[in-house]
Amino acid sequence: MPTLFILFGYRFFFWSNDHEPIHVHIAKGDSEAKYNVETLELVENFGFRKNELRMIESIIDENQSIIIERWKEFFKKGG
């Protein structure tokens, strides 16, 4: 499970057997969420509060190109 980065205690990662669309998992403590990266769409949320989700969305938005690049590198997809 490759970790992309950790910011403010939120770990952004994807599973080594993940699938498209490009998405990222976020974990902190007992909470976890999943976002589609290109559309910034919340797919799943288990335990994060609304203010935490806003922070997570902001981090994804600011790092969208890095997340997509790392996804493509890991899964060997051209860009």
Is the residue at 40 inside a domain?
Answer: yes
Domain count, the chain: 1
pTM for the structure as a whole: 0.91
> What domain range is 29 assigned to?
3-74
Is the residue at 43 inside a domain?
Answer: yes
If phi over 0 gives left and psi between -120 and 50 gives alpha, with beta otherwise, what is residue 45? Answer: beta
Residue 70: how many other CB atoms lie within 10 Å: 18
Is the residue at 10 inside a domain?
Answer: yes
Contact yes or no for 39/30 (Cβ under 8 A): no
| pLDDT tens sequence across 12-70 | 999 988 889 999 999 999 999 999 999 999 999 999 999 999 999 999 999 999 999 99
Is the residue at 79 inside a domain?
Answer: no
Is the residue at 31 inside a domain?
Answer: yes
Could you please report the per-residue DSSP string of 60-76? HHHTHHHHHHHHHHHTT
Residue 77: band (very low, low, confident or very high) from pLDDT cuts 50, 70, 90: low
